[in-house]
Structure 1
Amino acid sequence: MIKKIQALLAISTLFIVFQTTAWATMQTVSLPITVDYLMLRKLLVAGSFTEEGESATLVDEGDGCIQLRLATPHLSEQEGTLRVELSVFSQTGVPLGGACYSPVKLQGYVVLYQRPVINPVDWKLSFETVRTELLNVHRKSTRVAGVVWKFAEPYIAAYLSGIKIDLMPPVKNIKDFVSPLFSADKEQQVKAMLASMRPGTIELEPSALYLPVLVDVASVYDPHERRSNIISDKKRLKQTVALWEQWDDLLVHLITRLAGRSLSEDEKEVLVGVLLESRYRFVSELSDESIRHDIVRKQFIEAWRQLAPLFRKYFLQQGESKGILGYLGFFSSVDALMTLDKLGPTFGVEISTAGLVRLVEMLQVNPSFFYYGSQPNANLQELFHIHPLEKQEEIPIEEDSFQDNGGVLKRMFNTLTVSTAYAATNTKQTSMRKILQWKVPEADVTDYIQRVRDVLKASTAATLIKGNVPEQQQAMFQKLIQAMAWQESCFRQFVVKNRKLTYLLSYNRSSVGLMQVNERVWRGLYDLNRLRWDIYYNAAAGSEIAALYLKRYGLRKEVTNRKLDDETMARLIYAMYNGGPSQRTKFFKRFSSKKLYESDELFWKKYQMVSAGDVGKVSLCLVGR
């Protein structure tokens, strides 16, 4: 009986150990190098068909009497082999005294069915010919005189068998990129993994050649690991924010490189959506202190799933052969990240600054471009159909209209100073006097409210003139902009803090001015400095952003799947203005279930008051009466 109890105790103890111990498991993972046939063709051309017209001269003797040229390779998969079709021109004759006697010509196409082979030592890709086929100029099977083919075949076979594509650079790129994905405590594990890299069996698919790069990885799985990865440490949060800013720079770079291509409107929508969703999500998590240390990795993977098809399409079809191995390394490295990410969070894959820099280098871009600047990006503006905003003509204001019985302006100059950050960098923009015009009066705000309304009307009119709002929505849009400014800032561009007049900044320090334009979301699309200090520019930007959401998401039936009345449309646009394109579905869900956010309800009340002509009630939030 005692022995049975001891045995049960031993089993129980072993079970507890099993349940509380992190187990390491070894597994072989495939990190595929995907070589699209268009990419493979460019590699062939860049290495072996470098003469004019993507050609290669194999033989040229007797002043051209004896010639053999191959040109314009085309690749595809056929019955498990790589089909390589080349145009061929061959001539054999007898060169004598500067003339060519009895020339026999061959002109058409040669097709080689090949088996790709990878050398496991130097990672060089070569091709073994399985069979050959000749086609005439009309690409029909043909037979030729034996003497012509007997002359040409050995040269063609020798030339093509000598072609080797060095895949060591993309393999090295994978190693260089993967290495910093892991924390320092996994150094030995990573070294062992990278040392185990070896080529697998090449697979030919209809669109691409797949070379599996096999690695042995030891992943650790802890069934009881419940640690939250929400960042609470200020130093680590600062590092994560800096890393995200570098990722945002890289994302803008990728998007603008694509934006210069001949994209369809749907493809442009993908680019716009990827950037906006990435930024809105970051701002949201940063604001509610739910940001996680792996946000960059997650955003990178989510973005690449959408961008990869466009990159492969446009940079393979339209790109130059120069630097193609860099693109292959970039694609392969990101594919490796996505594969490793599937192993689970406890595997410890993260993206670091070093990893981002390596990706940029693969694209042959100087890593110094990582600069989280505030100036507009012309390519980004073009993609969003946002035109550079010039300062609008200010509505003439008589000086005594804001002196309030005299002396107010003088006292403002004597008791208030404008933030030194503005004074030091904005001498060519709005003057201090004009900024002080927009200080909220302490007593009667009737005139101030009307002047702000005039600014909003002017910005709305400018947006309507550009044709960004259909005629049937224009009345709604004019009310929308006033209601948004009321909800967002209570008609304020500036506030007084510590006896200094400065721009209105949101509680989470991300949105500024009259329309509370989010600086992180709209960086590169608007001049951030002018958003802060120029009420006209801020109003124009807010109006243009609202029009963008109306046109791109509100009016597209495939997006809303319904025809909206003006009031619902206004509420939808405001929800997206605050939360990004994803709010188009989230808002309808809230609207249908009658579980609206407080911000939804507050905006709706203000929109109704604007519709009823009660804009004067803005004074309640300005001065409390």
Structure 2
Amino acid sequence: RLVQALNNPAAASGPDPVRLIFLDEWTQLHDAVRAAAQRGMLGARALEFMSFISAGDALFALDQAAPALGVRISAADLRRLAHIMAPTATADPLQFNYGEDRDMKKLFSVPEPPTSHHPIEEENIPPSTPALSPNPTNASAPTPSPSPGTSSGLFPFPRSTGLGIRLLSLLSPREADAAEDTGGSQISRLQDVADRLYRQVVTEENAEAYRRDMAMLLNLSAAYQLSQTTASPANALDTDNGRVYVTLVMSTAWQESCWRQFVMDGAHIRWLESATGDIGLMQVNKHVWRGFYDIDRLKWDVLYNAGAGCEILARMIQYASMSQAKFDPVLISSHLARSAYAGYNGGPGACNRWRRRREPPPLKQIDSSFLEKYRAVETGTQIDILSCARSWSH
């Protein structure tokens, strides 16, 4: 919203969009910082954080209490507020950049996604020779169906209690064991699959092998995320919601990118990016998640991109589960998935937008399209990546 407001200044007679964004978001930031303080996460900087929050509260209260006096939040006010957190900084405290902010990640408990073996690429490197699944049996993929839209045998998942869903039908016993492991072998397995997808653009020639490897990457990334999030006794993924989560990951990647990380730009390879700054396989938005993730890795590292998307979806399914009982006393898995995806697409506040009778047509179309893909994945229908890519309109 801030980027849009800065790119499209309001008319002189209209409301200041920066002020409105501050008023909308301040309460949430205030609550997040105070919660972090209560958990003892602010360390030696606790006083600075509390001073920052107190000053912001005063600015917020002054804006609300004195409209008749013409007192309004300005850019200068925000710079003074930022100076509290960095009193010795000489640069513009409101400077915009895409750098990773490790302190912010710690504050919001955002872990580092797994990374591949490869360094970050340069944009002008031509595509490499395909190296997808030299031995198809190693990918443990079933025989592909003869035509798009038919069952591939990848789904449905076996029903189980707890996190038994990690024993996915896509995986061989050996690979399922790797998915069960929360240590190095699980990361190693992810990296092996990512190696096969390194700078790969899907084509008619490699489509089947590409689909198998991408299905493997998404399955293992979801399984890894489940293994990382089950420690909390209050975690929504501790139950059969794990089955919903894995299907959600697969269908979200279908909806967002047609299972693609890279595309051709003339004679060179480039990461997939939408007009609104959504990047790669999981279309992680570089504006919304600025500071939380390494933008260059989101672009060039398919494993990192998959991991970031899985982390965000895990948070969204948690948000969705909090409101589920209000609407569905008995759990309806597709409803939970629809709410989680709506949150992924539009932010946590959008989780239940699809339930509205008068949902705006563009959003209704997005949510309905996702539901079609979710049900397709749930019933074992495989994605036709090339057909999907031809109709991709992000």
Category of TM-score, reference length = shorter chain: 0.5 to 0.7
CA distance in structure 1 between the aligned counterparts of 2:362 and 2:103, rounded to whole angstroms: 40
Change (3 A) 1:540 1:351: same
Equivalent in the alignment of 1:554: 320
Q: Mapping of 1:567-606 within 5 angstroms?
A: 567-590=334-357, 597-606=364-373
Matched-pair contact (CA < 8 Å) for 1:492–1:514: yes
Equivalent in the alignment of 1:439: 201
Deviations 1:413-464 (A, max 9, x none): xxxxxxxxxxxxxxxx99xx97764211244511111111111111111111
CA distance in structure 2 between the aligned counterparts of 1:592 and 1:522, rounded to whole angstroms: 26
Size of the alignment, in residue pairs? 307
Distance apart, 1:304 and its partner CA: 3.4
Change (3 A) 1:595 1:487: closer
Equivalent in the alignment of 1:351: 74
Equivalent in the alignment of 2:282: 515
Q: Mapping of 1:139-538 within 5 angstroms?
A: 281-282=1-2, 294-305=16-27, 332-340=58-66, 342-343=67-68, 349=72, 351-352=74-75, 354-362=76-84, 365-367=87-89, 368=91, 369-391=93-115, 399=131, 401=133, 437-466=199-228, 467=230, 469-508=237-276, 510-538=277-305
Matched-pair contact (CA < 8 Å) for 1:531–1:537: yes
Distance apart, 1:514 and its partner CA: 0.3
CA distance in structure 1 between the aligned counterparts of 2:133 and 2:32, rounded to whole angstroms: 56
DSSP-derived class of the 1:523 partner: coil
Change (3 A) 1:336 1:539: same
Identical aligned pairs, as a percentage? 28
DSSP-derived class of the 1:496 partner: strand
Change (3 A) 1:328 1:443: closer
DSSP-derived class of the 1:343 partner: helix
Change (3 A) 1:339 1:540: same
CA distance in structure 1 between the aligned counterparts of 2:314 and 2:275, rounded to whole angstroms: 25
CA distance in structure 1 between the aligned counterparts of 2:372 and 2:52, rounded to whole angstroms: 55
Deviations 1:534-555 (A, max 9, x none): 001101111111011112x122
CA distance in structure 2 between the aligned counterparts of 1:440 and 1:304, rounded to whole angstroms: 44
| TM-score for both structures, normalised by structure 2 | 0.64
Matched to 1:599, the amino acid is I
DSSP-derived class of the 1:448 partner: helix
CA distance in structure 2 between the aligned counterparts of 1:338 and 1:311, rounded to whole angstroms: 21
Matched-pair contact (CA < 8 Å) for 1:513–1:535: yes
The alignment's C-alpha RMSD in Å is 4.3
Equivalent in the alignment of 2:121: none
- Structure 1's unaligned 5+ residue stretches are 1-280, 403-428
DSSP-derived class of the 1:485 partner: helix
| TM-score for both structures, normalised by structure 1 | 0.42
DSSP-derived class of the 2:264 partner: strand
Matched-pair contact (CA < 8 Å) for 1:554–1:560: no
CA distance in structure 1 between the aligned counterparts of 2:216 and 2:48, rounded to whole angstroms: 55
Matched to 1:555, the amino acid is S
Distance apart, 1:589 and its partner CA: 1.7
Worse-superposed segment, 513-522 or 381-390: 381-390
Matched to 2:83, the amino acid is E
Deviations 1:160-211 (A, max 9, x none): xxxxxxxxxxxxxxxxxxxxxxxxxxxxxxxxxxxxxxxxxxxxxxxxxxxx
Distance apart, 1:520 and its partner CA: 1.2
Equivalent in the alignment of 1:147: none
Change (3 A) 1:560 1:524: farther
CA distance in structure 1 between the aligned counterparts of 2:280 and 2:333, rounded to whole angstroms: 26
Change (3 A) 1:307 1:518: closer
Matched to 2:109, the amino acid is H
Higher share in strand: 1
- Structure 2's unaligned 5+ residue stretches are 119-128, 135-190
CA distance in structure 2 between the aligned counterparts of 1:290 and 1:566, rounded to whole angstroms: 43
Distance apart, 1:622 and its partner CA: 3.6
